[in-house]
A = this chain, B = another copy of it.
């Protein structure tokens, strides 16, 4: 792996673990096994490197979520698959956590990939809900965009509850709670 690649990957890890404010160039360089010069040769500085890292993380999240949402099954089953997909719950969401970083939110450039990813996710799920309404799986009174926002929020908030308690249990409880509310009549939400 090239030095530039190692810098991006180290930054991705640290942004996930400690956020933007909590990640220093020094820590990135140590993890990447590189010197100061390399970082400032390949990137303009911390914000520029962070942008590259955030963009890549956002792309990966889209690919992973997209794979589940495009999977087999009814609309309910695909949303369930998204909610139950394998996660390192206590690590939190590598994209969503950035919204609590003051320097990320203050920068349109750093915030953009975060915003776009969560927006894409909501629209993707909203379409699946609408599909479920057409099929009669979901009540016609439901609004796709609203339910999608609730789905994504439950996941993002589930991370908060899990990290607060130090256990994934609260995340799982929230997911089960939402699924029990969303479940088609007669469906066992498990």
A residues at B contact (CB < 8 Å): 17-19, 21-22, 92-93, 96-97, 99-103, 105, 111, 114-115, 118-119, 122, 141-143, 145-161, 163-166, 170-171, 173-178, 180-182
- Is A147's CB under 8 angstroms from B177's CB? yes
Q: For chain A, what secondary structure do more than half of its interface residues adopt (helix, strand, loop), or is it mixed?
A: helix
Interface centre among A92, A99, A143 (most CB of B within 10 A): A99
A149 to chain B: which residues have CB within 8 Å?
Answer: 158, 161, 170, 173-174, 176-177
A101 to chain B: which residues have CB within 8 Å?
Answer: 19, 22, 100
Could you jot down 22 A-B contacts, CB within 8 Å? A18-B21, A19-B19, A21-B22, A105-B163, A105-B166, A115-B166, A118-B164, A118-B165, A119-B164, A142-B180, A146-B174, A146-B176, A147-B180, A147-B181, A150-B154, A150-B174, A150-B181, A152-B157, A153-B156, A153-B160, A157-B157, A157-B158
